[in-house]
Every structure is written in C-alpha cells, then in structure tokens.
Structure 1
C-alpha cells in the first residue's frame, strides 16, 4: 500500500496570495521523483487554533506530513507551539540548537538577538532536523499514525534540509521509495491536447502511468513506474519516444547548458534578433559565452529576404529571428552548408510568451543542427506558413 503523504503550508501571506507558494509545488515534484505521490495539500494562516485542529486531524490519516513555514523568531511564527499543543505537551529549550545559532552569529561578528532563542524551543520529545543554511532548525514529531516534519519557509533552507535530512529519514520509515523510478521527458512544440491525443489512447504496461506538466515553452511528460519489469519499462519508453521523439529536447533535467553548451564552446556563433526582443541573446548567454549577439530592429519579416540578408551579413553559424510580419515571424539558422528559414505563426497574445517561444524555437533549430537531427519540423503550437532553404 502506498504511504499517505500530505503537505501543510502555513502563513497569512501564503494564504492570502501575497506570497506565491512555490515550496509546495517543489516539494510535490521532489517527492514524485522519489516515487512518492503527495495525496493532499493544505494551506493555513497564522491561527494557532486552526493549526492545532489540522495537525490533530491529519495525524490519524497520514503517514507523513511535511509542514512548511512558521519557524521564525517573531510572534506570528507559531508552528512549534501549535504542534506541542496538538500533541498535548510543552515546548522545551534545545540547548544544542541554541549554541549552534549563537555560533552562526559569532561567525559573522554579530550578537544573536534574544528573539532568536524562540527558534530553539521545540515540542518535548521532538527530533531535531539540522538546518546548515539558516537559524530555523527543523524538527520531527510522531503523533498517532503520522510523522510530522517541520521545515522553514525560506526556499534555499527547505531544499537543503529536504535533500540532506528529511528524505533519508523518510526512506528509513517508508522504504527506499514508493515506486521504482520516475523518468522525465521535456518536449517542445506540442500542445497539451495534441500530446493527449498521441499518448492517452495508447495501452501502457501494468505498473506504468503517465504524468504531465506544462511549463511554457516546454511540456514535461513523466513515466511514473511502479514495476520492476525491465522489459515493460523499456517498452513504455520506446512507445513514448516513438510518438514524441522528434519533439524531445531533454531528459531528466531541462538543461541546455549540459546538452549543447560543450558543443558551442569552439563555435563562432552569431545571433541577430528582432521580434524576440533580446530574449534569445539572454538565453544563449546562460549556455555559453562563446557568441556575439545583436538586438536589431528592422530585420526582414519574410523568410527569403531574411535568408538573403544572412548570406551577406553573417558568420558561418548564425541564428536569427526576424521581425513579425503578416505571415508570422521568420527564424533562420545559417550553417556552412545552407541557410534554413521557417516562418512561424504566433497565437499567444502575451508579449513575454511570444518572445520566449520564438527564442526557444530558434534555440531548438540550433540544438537540432548540433546533434544531427532534422533542423525544421512541424510544431503544433507554432504553425509554419513558409520554409526556405538557400545555399550558404
């Protein structure tokens, strides 16, 4: 039976939307990658009675509850007190953590404020969870069926503690993981409905399920695997790639730096862009510094004109995004052999989304060239109105 894992996000700022709760999404994805799917998520404000009621209630239904937030030194940080009250116990000073905090301040030539002592007050019997980044330690408490893990709201602290401290404890309690593995595939150019049409009607091996996450400009597909059958896993991956292989841009992590960065190190790459507003230059700069970028207003807005312009105005390896015209926006890749241009139509009204998609489409052309794939393909989300190939 799969363990029941739940998340609790605390704080008035999170509840009212003043702060976007990115921690909960990150936690859900992290746990899914380990093979555990979160069953429920709750958001509660800075009300002690509400927290006590929720902790007591979930202690009878969940195996693990991860509580995020409310461990700071101010009066509205009440997670520890609420847990103590729910467990029918009191807070007690953890002398070890008090000394750790004092040393952290001393290392910065500062005196620890008295209010920080509150962060060393933990429910009686709680197990301390180390926080090497900040002053808010985490802690674990067993109540009825559930083990509660309390974590600070600062994302960098949460991520470090989850990876180094809490995941090992969960593996010991629940088994190494809930499923054997999760394989991730990042796709570009397909719509969610188009992807659903391709995949959902297929028959998948027992113990293997699909998961989707749209994050413009890519869509992430997961194979969530609950089987040890190596042949079934291989067949499922082969079936997935047979349907979407031409749109696959990365596996496991969406990281162009690792996949094409080394191949660009010795290339004399030049970039021109108009309609993308500098987005392509910004993106390439995170991958490699071996390029020259130009944001130029007034580039051609037709495919053949852009190709001809590049024939006389560019280096052997050049990416270009032209101006937006009546037929769409031309995107070109010039290599030593040819100049290839495709005019893509944009149906997104948001200017930022338009720039991101145009830049990613250009980057995809470059990636395809570097790895030896077909440079110009059909995209569901960016219909092509014209393609032109001219000699370099």
Structure 2
C-alpha cells in the first residue's frame, strides 16, 4: 500500500500571506521526483493549541508528516514544544546539538546568544536530523501511525537537509523508490483550457493520470505514473505527444542550452525588438552569447513594413519583434527560406506578461527554424491576424 505523506507549514507570516510558501511546493515536487506523492498539505499559524490538535489528528491518518518552520530561537517558534505536548513527552536538552551551535558561533568569533539554547530542546525520544547550514536542527519522532520530520523554514537550509539527511532516511522507511514517477512536458501556445478539451476526454492507460501547471509563458503538462507497465507508459506518452504536436518545447526541465545552443553556433544571429522591451534578448542570452541584440523603439508596426525593413539585413539569420500597431504586433524571422512574418494580437493587460509572451513567441519561431519544424503555427493564446512569407 502506498504511504500517505502530508506536509504542514507553520507560522503566522505564512498563514497570512506575508511570506509566500515556496517550501511546500518545492517539497511536493522533490518528493514526487523520488516517486512519492504528497496526499495533503496544511498551514497553521503560531498557535500551540492548533498545532497540537493537528499533530495528534494527523498522527492517526498519515504515515509520514513533514513539518516546516517554527524551529527558530524566538518565542513564536513553538513546533518542538507543540510536538512534545502532542506526544505527551517532555522537552530535553540535546547536548550534542548545543555544542554544535556553540562551535558554529565560535568559528565566527561570536558568542552564542542564550536564546539559541532553545533550539537544542527536542521532544524526548526524538532523533536529531543534522542541519549543516544553520542553527536549527531538524528532528524525527514517531507518534501513533505517523513518523514526523521537523525542518527549518529557511529555504536553503531545508533543501540541504532534505537532500543530504532526509531522503536517505525516507528511502529506508518508504522503500528505495516510490510507486510514482513523473514525466514533464513544457508546451507553448496552447491554453490550459484548450489542453483540457484535447486531453481530459481521452482514455489513459491504467495507473497514469494527467497534471497541469500554468507557468507563463508555458504550460507544464505532467504524466503522473503509478504503474511499472512499460507498454502502458509508452502508450500514454505517445498519445500525449500526438495531441500536443509541435507545441512541445522542452521535456523534464526548461533548459534550452544543451538542445539549441549547439544549433546556434556560427549562425551570426541578430535580434531586433521593440514591443517586447528587451525580453527577447534576455531569453536568447540564457542559451548563447553568440548573437547581436538591439532594443529599438520605433520599429515598423505592420507585418509588411517589418518584413521589408528586415530584408535589408545582410545577415544570414535575423529575428525581429516590431512595434504594436492596429492589427497587433508583427514578429518576423529572416533566413535562407525567406522572411516569415506573422502579426499576433495581444489580449493581456499586464505589461510584463505581454513582453514575456511576445519574446517567447519570437523565440519559438527561431526554435522551430533550428529544429526543422514549421515556423509559423496557430497559438490558442495569441490569435494571428495575418501571416505570410516574403521571398528574399
């Protein structure tokens, strides 16, 4: 039977939204990469009674509970105290961790504040989980059905502890690998609702479900696999790829350096952009430094004018985003195949989102050209008012 895994985020600042809870999302994804899917997530403020009630409740329902936050030296850091009360045990001084903290301060020629001693007070019977970065150690403790792991809220400390200390423990407890795996597909130009219409009605092989995540300018589509049937996995992936077609821009992670970087070598690429405000140059610069970028206000705002302006270029590969005009914003790619230009209509008010989408649409034209796909295609999210190729 698959283990029931839950997350608890603590702190008034997290509960009220003063701090965005990125730790919970990172933990869920990190666990899923190992094959373990989180079943539930909870957020609780700095109220000891609420924490005790939740810990006792979840101890009967979950196999593993990861608690994030509340291990600091101040009076509102009460996770250890609440766990001790939930388990009906006292807090005890962990002499080893007290000495570790004292050594950390001594190595920086500082005297440890007395308040830090609180971070060495752990529930009786708890197993210490080392924190090589900060002063808040983690700890693990069993209560009823569940094993609780307590982790600090500082993201850099959490990530280091998770990879170095907790994952080895979890593999021993839950098995070397979980029952799940995830294959990630990044798409551009399709809307989340459009993808849902395409995919949700399809029958998927047993043990495989779909997941969506909108992260402008792309949509991340996930195959969540809870089967070891290789034929089913291959069939599901083939079915997905047949539906999304050439809108797939990346797999597993959004990193184009390895795939497109070599294709841009010695291409003498030139970029001109207006309406995208320099965003296209930023995008390309993450892949290669071998290009020439220009941000120019006053580029043509019609597809025809931009195409004629671009054909004056003597460079073998030129990409341009024009100014916004009555029909939309023209985007053009000049190559040995001619000048391919399309005018896209923007219906997004947020300026940053507009620039990001424009830049990625132009980048997608370049990507398609480099890998030998059709350069201009229909996008759900960016209606096209005109499209043509001007011979060079």
Give the TM-score, by structure 2 length. 0.95
Q: Paired residue for 2:132?
A: 132
**Inter-CA distance 176–245: structure 2 relative to 1 (3 Å threshold):** farther
Aligned-pair distance for 1:98?
A: 2.4
The one-character-per-residue Cα deviations of 1:290-326 (angstroms, maximum 9, x if unpaired) are: 2222211111111121111112246322221111111
> What are the residue-to-residue correspondences of 1:1-392 with 2, within 5 Å?
1-313=1-313, 315-392=315-392
**Inter-CA distance 334–33: structure 2 relative to 1 (3 Å threshold):** same
Q: Distance in 2 between matches of 1:27 and 1:86?
A: 24
Aligned-pair distance for 1:30?
A: 2.2
The one-character-per-residue Cα deviations of 1:236-291 (angstroms, maximum 9, x if unpaired) are: 11111011121101111111233323433443222211111111122222222222
Task: Identify the range of structure 1 (285-294 vs 61-70) with the bigger mean alpha-carbon deviation.
Answer: 285-294
Aligned-pair distance for 1:367?
A: 1.4
The one-character-per-residue Cα deviations of 1:182-230 (angstroms, maximum 9, x if unpaired) are: 1111111101111011111111111111111111111111111111111
Give the total of aligned pairs.
392
Aligned-pair distance for 1:358?
A: 0.5
Aligned-pair distance for 1:180?
A: 4.3
Q: Tell me, which stretches of 5 or more residues in structure 2 are unaligned?
A: none
Aligned-pair distance for 1:125?
A: 1.4
Q: Distance in 2 between matches of 1:329 and 1:148?
A: 54
Task: Identify the range of structure 1 (283-292 vs 18-27) with the bigger mean alpha-carbon deviation.
Answer: 283-292
Q: Distance in 2 between matches of 1:10 and 1:252?
A: 31
**Inter-CA distance 262–79: structure 2 relative to 1 (3 Å threshold):** farther
CA contact (8 A) 1:188 1:247 kept: yes
Q: Distance in 2 between matches of 1:185 and 1:116?
A: 45
Q: Distance in 2 between matches of 1:84 and 1:43?
A: 19
Q: Distance in 1 between matches of 2:288 and 2:130?
A: 37
**Inter-CA distance 370–101: structure 2 relative to 1 (3 Å threshold):** farther
Aligned to 1:39, the other structure's residue is in SS state strand
Aligned-pair distance for 1:360?
A: 0.9
CA contact (8 A) 1:34 1:182 kept: no
Moved over 4 A (4+): none
Aligned to 1:319, the other structure's residue is in SS state strand
Aligned-pair distance for 1:119?
A: 1.7
The one-character-per-residue Cα deviations of 1:74-99 (angstroms, maximum 9, x if unpaired) are: 11111111111111112222222223
**Inter-CA distance 86–180: structure 2 relative to 1 (3 Å threshold):** closer
Q: Distance in 2 between matches of 1:267 and 1:116?
A: 58
**Inter-CA distance 305–3: structure 2 relative to 1 (3 Å threshold):** same
Supply the RMSD in Å over aligned alpha carbons.
Answer: 1.7
Aligned to 2:35, the other structure's residue is in SS state coil
Aligned to 1:118, the other structure's residue is in SS state helix
